[in-house]
Structure 1
Amino acid sequence: MMTRHSGEPDTVVVGAGLAGLACALDLCRAGRRVALLEASDGVGGRMRTDRRDGFLLDRGFQVFNTSYPQVKRRLDLRSLRLRPFTPGLVAHTSRGPVRLADPTRRPRDAGALLPGRVLPARDLAALGALTARDVLLPAGVLKRGADRSTAETLSRAGVSAETVDEILRPFLSGVFLEDALETSGRFFHLVWRSMARGTLCLPAGGIGAVPAQLAAGLPEGVLRLETPVDEITASGVLLADGRELPATTVVVATDAVTTARLLPGTAAPDSRTVTTYYHAAARSPLAEPTLVVDSTRAVLNTCVLTEAAPTYAPPGTALISTSVLGLDRPERGGAVLRRLAELYGTDTGEWRQVAAYTVTGALPAMRPPWPLSRPTRLAPGRYVCGDHRATGSVQGALASGTRAAREVLSDLPRT
């Protein structure tokens, strides 16, 4: 932890999600006196974990990708005690369940990828070429490509409509939180690249361990929890309790809706909503840490979290996470359980629902042409950052916060 800052802040950062944490860290390291204000009782924004009755419950199913440049730069991965998922998935298709795996990481599953077993030879070749291109080309080349929807991108790559609908759409719907595959194709290429180059995993202490580690690097006194901001003023910020905190520089690092409220005239993009159900079971319905996707799209995806990270549940208990698009509804829980019985081939009658989390604004709707990064400077001394200003990912949030700090420092008077 850095030395405690003294005196009034010269910079206020509003919001202690990943973007706000990254921005505050960089500004502190550059010698700025920073106040990081967070309305809630903890850091992380949408990336938080609740502890309840021995369970770790992430606020919506999330995975951690080790390949992101900002992750490599900022985080001590060893201390997160990361637990990997299987490098692949099981897709329940109209022809039954099929396994799609990375043969370079799981050679024993390579036989399933023989032409005709899971995919036609043409689709295997198309996906192989697409993956090789995304892995080998510099990221800058992918970012400069023409932007079109993910659906059109896959079609142009030569992947058949059947393979898209039966396997790729169910999987990518859980990544983008939309099932039309209208998300930016440039973003798809970057996501595909990151998955091929990195490992998808969970911290043993829950996804909230990621922002907690970042917050631990702040100087004492910088982070102020349960300090909501009502208004950005000409001289700083007006707090909800009526006090004004003066600062020459204000960075708004909140969600898009709150940003639009605090900074009138800032457009809030459309966003995606997802609901995640957590069920406890006496036995694991799938003895491996593998993501299961559903071509009927009754659910987005499901997995047994405790197969990846046993720390997520009390000993002798399996914790199953299942996500669906949209809001929770009274009748939805029963329908989800019925579909899970079919997907896992087991009786779910004794499963107990531990929690259900609906996350509104879980991701920005990144329709093409989607700018992968935008300037954070709005006016003299006023800045904005967040994944809605970059890409809906851990990398996007951290990169946007990094850019905000860089632009704040570049605007300081030279002495």
Structure 2
Amino acid sequence: MTLWEPDLPPAVADLGEGHVLSSTAHHADHAEVIVVGAGVAGLSAALALTAAGVGVSVLEAADRPGGRMTTEETDGFRLDRVGRFLSTSHRELHRLPALSALTLRPFAPGVLVHGDGRLHRTGEVVRRRSSAAVPYPRARTDRSDPSDTHGAWAGRRGVGGALTVARALASAPRPLDEALLGASLARLAGMSAARLAARPERPAAEALAARGLPARTLGGFLRPLLSALLCDPELTTSSRCADLVLRSFARGRLCVPEGGSGAIPDLLAAALPPGTVLTGVRVKEASINRVSTEEYGELSCRALVLATGAREAAELLPGLRVPDFHPVTLVHHSAPEAPATGAALVLDADRTGPVAHTSVMSAVDPTRAPEGRALITSVVLGTPPARPDTAVRAQLARMYGMPTDDWELLAVHRTPDAVPAMPAPHDPRRRVRVLSGLYVCGDHRDTSTVQGALRSGRRAAQEVLRDFGVPGVPELPMAA
């Protein structure tokens, strides 16, 4: 058992190299609440409990907090294991004081879609329509990020890059299609969560087909965009969950945390009292008032919060439902010269290869790559091919319009249980209170997003406080 201790003050720019693990043993064998799992759900629960004056110990089997939201360093590159998008409209990010130091790095407005063998830009009309009705929440973003993708491409030189840009500009979507799309997403942006929940629920693919939008818009933008945001290429996800995700896209900007996704759990853990997060502790058995660990025997408590992944939680609590999962594989490449797409998210609409979406991550967040090198991160949804690098390189050469033979493969991260599935009917507020003294939280109890995980942890903490008899615990409204 080791205490997780960040350098102080915590600095997102130094994540990955500014943290040390102390060898000092934690001697306490009792806590008011034990949280098993130091992912963002468990850390969110711990923060809410400690803010209410409750003593908490967070037990994590790995050597650092984060769970699936970890970032590793390789030769100066910061590589996520599971790349999930955030939005500047995610309220949980702005609600937590612990995340006030988080810098969000936005993608360029709109997206680039590779369809019919060429790139085109779309989605920018949506931003102009919706932002007037629903202002962005305050967030720290990179103010040097250009407001349109022309500026991001302007620095690119060379024949390949020029041809890529020319193809993108020559194949801009039809104005009427873009206007219909903008009007549709603007309506979503203005809807309340309660109104969205009142809509008929069915698979997202069926709901999209019934919206009356042109086939070009559905296949050339909405389907690939939702596949990327939900990590669900077949769009079996509940249409209500899909609408919430699209509403976030329409209300804000897609973004990633500066320094890697591990910046979020690191900041959450750093905000807890020293000694709260205990790493390298493997829990074998768990009950309401105790846990049994491999390393230190039994630890007692008044209440237990299981904040592990769904499969691990079911091993400790037999009978707990385990959902299906969407596997995600991240393929990270380094290139001597960045593709001309700048900070844009590039979606694949042709589905001629394994890559669902890709981006020059070093253009979105320059801290993720050493100076003079480009980091290209590509996402494969579902079962990856036997030789992912070969198939991915070939597809990226088509999508970016440039050779990829000299790109260096940095890492391939495959996570079979990356994203819990949310098929219809899906309850985004599944019970977190199993019984008094025993609680379960995580993205599998809410929506399978970062916001859902944070919110689920907060819901679990509030149930604990109610059972402890703490007065004035508010009831959370529906997901915002």
* TM-score normalised by the chain length of structure 1: 0.92
Q: For the residues of structure 2 that align with 1:142 and 1:135, how far apart are their CA atoms?
A: 10
Distance change >3 Å, CA 61–CA 7, structure 1 → 2: closer
Asked if residue 308 in structure 1 is aligned to residue 364 in structure 2, the reply is: yes
**Which amino acid in the other structure matches residue 266 of structure 1?**
L
Does the CA contact (< 8 Å) of 1:63 and 1:207 recur in 2? no
Does the CA contact (< 8 Å) of 1:83 and 1:202 recur in 2? yes
**Which amino acid in the other structure matches residue 376 of structure 2?**
I
Runs of 4+ in 1 over 6 A off after TM superposition: 4-7
1:281 aligns with 335
Q: What do residues 190-209 of structure 1 show as CA deviations (whole Å, max 9, x unaligned)?
A: 11111121222233321111
Structure 1 residue runs without a partner (length 5+): none
Does the CA contact (< 8 Å) of 2:114 and 2:399 recur in 1? yes
Does the CA contact (< 8 Å) of 1:280 and 1:318 recur in 2? yes
Q: For the residues of structure 2 that align with 1:276 and 1:107, how far apart are their CA atoms?
A: 27
Q: 1:341 aligns with which of 358, 373, 397?
A: 397
SS at match of 2:415: strand
Distance change >3 Å, CA 108–CA 203, structure 1 → 2: closer
Distance change >3 Å, CA 40–CA 66, structure 1 → 2: same
What aligned pairs does 1:168-247 form with structure 2 within 5 A after superposition? 168-233=222-287, 235-241=289-295, 243-247=297-301
SS at match of 1:383: strand
Of 269-278 and 230-239, more deviation after overlay is shown by: 230-239
Does the CA contact (< 8 Å) of 1:302 and 1:322 recur in 2? yes
**Which amino acid in the other structure matches residue 212 of structure 1?**
D
2:413 aligns with 357
Q: 1:164 aligns with which of 218, 241, 259?
A: 218
Q: For the residues of structure 2 that align with 1:107 and 1:308, how far apart are their CA atoms?
A: 13
Does the CA contact (< 8 Å) of 1:184 and 1:368 recur in 2? yes
Q: How far is the alpha carbon of 1:389 from its aligned partner?
A: 0.4
1:382 aligns with 438
Asked if residue 96 in structure 1 is aligned to residue 111 in structure 2, the reply is: no
Asked if residue 15 in structure 1 is aligned to residue 69 in structure 2, the reply is: no
2:207 aligns with 153
**Which amino acid in the other structure matches residue 394 of structure 1?**
V
1:118 aligns with 173
* TM-score normalised by the chain length of structure 2: 0.80
Q: 2:109 aligns with which of 78, 87, 93?
A: 87
Distance change >3 Å, CA 137–CA 373, structure 1 → 2: same
Distance change >3 Å, CA 349–CA 75, structure 1 → 2: farther
**RMSD across aligned positions (CA):** 2.5
Q: How far is the alpha carbon of 1:235 from its aligned partner?
A: 3.2
What aligned pairs does 1:46-65 form with structure 2 within 5 A after superposition? 46-65=68-87
SS at match of 2:358: strand
Structure 2 residue runs without a partner (length 5+): 1-7, 9-25, 129-146, 151-166, 472-480
Does the CA contact (< 8 Å) of 2:41 and 2:441 recur in 1? yes
Of 307-316 and 327-336, more deviation after overlay is shown by: 327-336
Q: For the residues of structure 1 that align with 2:422 and 2:58, how far apart are their CA atoms?
A: 28
Of 366-375 and 59-68, more deviation after overlay is shown by: 59-68
**Which amino acid in the other structure matches residue 64 of structure 1?**
L
**Which amino acid in the other structure matches residue 364 of structure 1?**
P
**Which amino acid in the other structure matches residue 199 of structure 2?**
G
1:267 aligns with 321
**Which amino acid in the other structure matches residue 343 of structure 1?**
M
Q: For the residues of structure 2 that align with 1:77 and 1:247, how far apart are their CA atoms?
A: 28
Q: How far is the alpha carbon of 1:79 from its aligned partner?
A: 2.6
Aligned length: 409
